[in-house]
Structure 1
């Protein structure tokens, strides 16, 4: 029996927990608890399991399988790097309703929510998350720790470098590259390639370069 540990205890973490047994079998896994920096992050919501400790203090056991459930992009990198350095093993979780092409490539710790789509020859690096109805087209490349909110879309041959965040209904048109650590605002369309640390908003997308929004 393997133990699942959810990294993050906010809304994202509780959301993952609510769907957990749709992803994995309770005959093979049991839920061990959450990792969170501050118990106050959970607010007034009742927690469905224990908070074990802060993520950067956790010492993974050999039977632990972790699931990354942190939305803040800077924290995603910091916490993941700390846990990986201690030998943590992360699950790649694909919801039964997600559509994944047979020749798509998924890295370690990838999380695909219900009704997400990964098309032909797409490549997702480690710790990418696709939220509800998010999609990536054929021959796309998504870098490490990218996060797509509900209904976000990267079209064919599009490239997201590491740690890019696409907000709800954001779109990257075909053959466009989005630089590392960039943010694309909700309902925005990236019509041309943008550099690292950009903030893109509007249709067509307007760019504010060299800014950090996470």
Structure 2
């Protein structure tokens, strides 16, 4: 039995808790969160223990692993780095009801929801989130720290670079490239490549003004962002 904490007590954190519960062999000790107003409360039946400052104490008590469940892509990676610096191992959360080809490649510290499908030679890089019911078809790739919300459908040989957000129910036709830091609005159908940091939406997807959103663009984390495409 592995003792583990989940960083992020919001909706994604609750999804991760459900995934880990279904996977068995894992004891979720509690949530961590940077929002101090949540500390000491419970989410479902699980206590919010504290924030990053609680990790040293938890490690001394036998907690060995953490999953980072933060929706903002750059923040998710930054928190993961901070947890690793405090000597907790980072874990993935992959639902047993996901369908993953034996020829797919999955990086470290990913979240993959129920009924997600990764087809032959699909590739998912580290810190990516693949929501419930997503399809990544043959030879598709999802870059480092990207987030595919539920029911996103990537046709064959689609490339999603680093820190991309694809809203619920998006479809991308074969061979398109969604460049680093781009955002695609829910329900869109992408028939053209999307440029770095682009914001598109609609049917077919067309450029939109930059979103007034709490989500940070990839450019804000400076030169540390690469395309993030999974490499063999």
Give unmatched runs, 5+ long, in structure 2. Answer: 216-232
Matched, 1:54 2:51: yes
Shift of 1:84: 3.0
Judged with a 3 Å threshold, the aligned counterparts in structure 2 of structure 1 residues 123 and 81 are, in CA distance, closer, same or farther, namely same
Structure with the bigger RCO (C-alpha within 8 Å, sep 6+) is 2
* Aligned equivalent of 1:131: 131
Instruction: Give the conservation status (yes or no) of the 8 Å contact 2:158–2:173.
Output: yes
1:75-125 deviations in whole A, cap 9, x for unaligned? 213212322334432222321211100110011111111100001001100
After TM superposition, the structure 1 = structure 2 runs for residues 57-68 of structure 1, keeping only pairs within 5 Å, are 58-59=55-56, 61=59, 63-68=63-68
| Matched residue SS, 2:77 | helix
How many residues align? The count is 210
| Matched residue SS, 1:50 | strand
Judged with a 3 Å threshold, the aligned counterparts in structure 2 of structure 1 residues 23 and 169 are, in CA distance, closer, same or farther, namely same
Instruction: Give the conservation status (yes or no) of the 8 Å contact 2:9–2:31.
Output: yes
Alpha-carbon separation, structure 1, partners of 2:86 and 2:204: 44
Instruction: Give the conservation status (yes or no) of the 8 Å contact 1:56–1:83.
Output: no
Give unmatched runs, 5+ long, in structure 1. Answer: none
Alpha-carbon separation, structure 1, partners of 2:177 and 2:53: 32
RMSD of equivalent CA atoms: 2.4
Shift of 1:39: 4.0
Instruction: Give the conservation status (yes or no) of the 8 Å contact 2:9–2:43.
Output: no
* Aligned equivalent of 1:192: 192
1:24-73 deviations in whole A, cap 9, x for unaligned? 32xxx32221110114369x974422323223773473752211211122
Shift of 1:14: 2.1
* Aligned equivalent of 1:81: 81
Alpha-carbon separation, structure 2, partners of 1:161 and 1:20: 27
Runs of at least 4 residues of structure 1 off by over 4 A? 44-47, 209-213
